[in-house]
Amino acid sequence: MKRLRIGIFKLTSCDGCQLSLLNLEERLLEMFKFYDIVHFKEGTDRTVKGSFDIAIIEGSITTDRQKEEVFNIREQARKVITIGACATSGGIQALRNWASLGEFKSYVYPSVETIESLSVSIPVNEHIYVDYELWGCPVSTEAIEEVLVAFILEKRPALPLYSLCMECKKKAIPCILVSSGQPCLGPVTKAGCGALCTHFRRPCYGCFGPKEGANINSLAGIFEGLDIPERDFIKLLDKMNSYAYRKARIEGIHE
């Protein structure tokens, strides 16, 4: 069997999702029977020119150079997969979308005029067609394995489409929102983390992004009933998936 050529690319991100891929360890070595990783700067300095069967992209687009890069990747790849909150939702750097980029720069850099950056940070799919998105901050190792195996078998990855609340019910975890009145984003957040935070009685803060059809405004009403100010609700949404939650909320208002 001819091995599939795979390229792994990084845009603006922390590298955490690529590390999740490396954390497959022995299982990743087994996949080398089916995949030939020809571009992966996080894991090897080997680079082979040519097209890709699969291109995996981590990170959001925050510069003009990155816009050009993703167009080139799309032209060279048969399939494109984005992994992690940055690539699928703009990442925590998307907080600039609701603020002054110049002000943000002044807090971080001594010479802001040397920093070239777009005024917004947005997902990869806002620029090119993406065949599959893998959410999470970071993505789970198990989910990456499922996606890579699914593409070998040419089937759709068997990943959950329901909310985090379903994972809590499966594990008999009492609802934090109902039982203790803590501001939990579980009802509107994709499952996939294994209910890690809620297992330890901590509310979900949305690292896997909004589930399809998430009713953000209904949850806002529940928070209001708990005397949680609108400002605090927005702060809760404005983390690694700020762009996606705000977009889902606006779409819900229009509906």
- Please write the tens of the pLDDT for every residue from 42-69: 887 777 778 999 999 999 999 999 999 9
Pairing of strands 77-83, 132-134: parallel
CA distance 59 to 90: 8
What does the mean pLDDT of the chain come to? 92
To which residue do tokens 């609700």 refer?
233
DSSP 28-95: HHHHTTTEEEEEETTT-S-B--S-EEEEEEESBB-SHHHHHHHHHHHHHEEEEEEEHHHHHH--GGGG
pLDDT score of 253: 64
Predicted confidence band of residue 1 (pLDDT cuts 50, 70, 90): low
The answer, yes or no, to whether residue 135 has pLDDT greater than 80, is: yes
Has residue 238 got a pLDDT over 80?
yes
pLDDT in tens, 208-230: 999 999 999 999 999 999 999 99
pLDDT digits (tens, 9 = 90+) for 143-179: 999 999 999 888 999 999 899 999 999 999 999 999 9
Residue 254 has pLDDT above 60, yes or no: no
Name every residue whose Cβ is closer than 8 Å to that of residue 16 and which is 6 or more positions away in sequence. Answer: 84, 137, 138
pLDDT at position 255: 52
- Mean pLDDT of all residues in 232-241: 93
pLDDT of res. 220? 94
What percent of the chain lies above the pLDDT cut of 70?
98
Block residue for tokens 């995996």? 56
∠ CA 153-156-162, nearest 5°, is 145
Q: What is the pLDDT of residue 157?
A: 92
